[in-house]
Homo-oligomer: A and B are copies of this chain.
Amino acid sequence: MRNRVRRFRGPFHKPRPVDYANASAEVRAVFDDIKATRKLADVNNFWKYLAADPALLKRTWETQKAVLAPGALDRLVKELIYLAVSVTNGCSYGIACHTALARKAGMTDAMFAELMAVVGMANQTNRFADGFRLPIDDAFNE
């Protein structure tokens, strides 16, 4: 017997991506729509991993397509908000992905620096508000 951590046998622990070549028709239809909508030659890892569950993939893409479409807020503002949340959560994939998407939507170096300054200040003052146990002003409850 070998003296080491016992190997676990199937199913695999680590999630694995589904590539287009190995995807079902259902998954390919979503991948095709993502590529067409975003004008990309291939989808990024986020979609390849979600494809492990085709219903989750489809639902998530449809929600994202609706939510990020320009409306009262334009795409750039939406990507800045997305990035602000990802930074607050410390999610390295979300930060990398939405920095790229915000860049694509027009975020300049100066915008990125101002975004970071606001995100940093909000995280700081949120803690002040909780730590000093602030009562909410009447004017904010109207």
Contact = CB atoms under 8 A, between A and B. Distances in A.
20 contacts: A5-B44, A5-B137, A8-B142, A13-B96, A13-B141, A14-B140, A44-B140, A45-B136, A45-B137, A46-B129, A64-B121, A72-B113, A73-B115, A81-B119, A85-B88, A85-B118, A85-B126, A96-B141, A97-B137, A116-B128
Contacts of A13: 96, 99-100, 103, 140-142
Number of copies: 6
Interface of A: 1-8, 10-15, 39-42, 44-46, 49-50, 52-53, 55-56, 59-60, 63-64, 66-68, 71-73, 77-78, 80-100, 103-104, 107-142
Given A15-B132, A49-B134, A56-B116, A42 B126 contact: no
Contacts of A108: 11, 72
Contacts of A96: 13-14, 133, 136-137, 140-141
B90 A126 contact: yes
The SS class assigned to the A binding surface is: helix
A85 to B, nearest CB: 4
A115 B81 CA distance: 8
Contact of A129 (B14, B93, B107, B118): B93
